[in-house]
Amino acid sequence: MTSSRRTVLVHLDTPATELTSSALELLTLARSLGRVEAVTLASPSLTTLAQLGAYGVELVRQAEPAEDLGPHAPHSTALVAEALARAADVSGAAVVLLASTFPNKESAARLAFLTGAGLVIDAAAIGVSDEGHVVGSKRVLAGSWDTSCEIVTDLAVLTVRANAVVPEPAEAAVETTVEGFAVVPSTLAKAGVPTSREVHEAEHGDGPARPALAEAAFVVAGGRGTFGDFTPVEDLADALGAAVGATRDCVDEGWIGHDAQIGQTGVTIAPRVYVGAGISGAPHHRGGMQASQVIVAVNNDPDCPLFEISDFAVVGDLHEVLPQAAERIREHRAQA
């Protein structure tokens, strides 16, 4: 199928407020694959509609369940999967894209099961083969292998990692309309709707709210070499507008919360820039950050294993290096 004929559905996580950077990335990717339509389980706000218009999306398909399932229904992974399956059927879509969050991965798996679709989780790039099939590329085995997965089924479902592309609006803005479509939830979907939901914002230190670790374009992480003092790490993060991360050792010591842990038993990240300070580079940590586009390591040990995979290595005390870097960054931004 040619890209001009292919319909690509993009699931929107936050339509009632405004679109996240991850959603804008999905829309950018989707335009390279075909005609883009958005799918929501809640009414899009005026801000969201303006963003969609700027990114070339003419149609939003809003799911309309046959019965009222409460305000938390859009967070039911089973209902999301059934709504996307119905939207794909109504639109004749060939591709469905979702941001790579934990709930979305579950929804994508359910969707693939319901429709018999090919599934790629955590794609870092998407292309099209010579035969016209969608190809999802990703790193596996703790970041040691790069793979490309060609989806040969009629429907391709992919969750896409944050920072896969730089969001870019369409060449010309369009008017976006909303069209409802009926969804009859299954007994399973109705049974899995949350009755309450509370969001806990992750924020470390006394600084301003920082981007979510899994989605951040810039990440500054601290390890055992901080000796529990994350002040330099947080200061550099705030200068960069970055998220704060940590190794498992720091979490085990109680120096920082588990939501900041990067690694095979924590959060897997792929930022544009990763700064690791006082981190040796144990395999379980490397497995969670090795897909970063640019890796900067700061360590006073010249034989630090993290240096082996770093694009830039600084041998020095992080408590001296990071404050200097933060100061220079602030000076540069003040002059810009």
Binding residue ranges for FAD: 224, 247-248, 261-265, 278-285, 299
Q: Mind giving me the DSSP string for 198-235?
A: -------TTS-----TTT-SEEEEE-GGGTT--HHHHH
**Alpha-carbon gap, residue 323 to 170, rounded angstroms:** 39
| 278: region left, alpha or beta (phi > 0 left; psi from -120 to 50 alpha) | left
Question: Beta-carbon neighbour count of residue 131 at 10 Å?
Answer: 9
Rounded Cα gap, residues 105 and 53, in angstroms:
27
Among residues 87, 259, 270, which one has the least CA distance to residue 178? 87
Read off the amino acid at residue 286: R
φ and ψ of 128, to 5 deg: -130, 135
- Written as six digits, the tokens of 162 are 């944050």
> What are the Cα distances from residue 86, in Å, to 40, 77, 159?
12, 14, 18
List the one residue out of 71, 73, 2 whose CA is nearest residue 32: 2
Q: Enumerate the β-bridge partners of residue 61.
A: 39, 179
Closest by CA position to 231, among listed 205, 254, 251: 205
Q: Which residues contact 324 (CB under 8 A, 6 or more apart)?
A: none
Residue ranges at the known binding site? 224, 247-248, 261-265, 278-285, 299
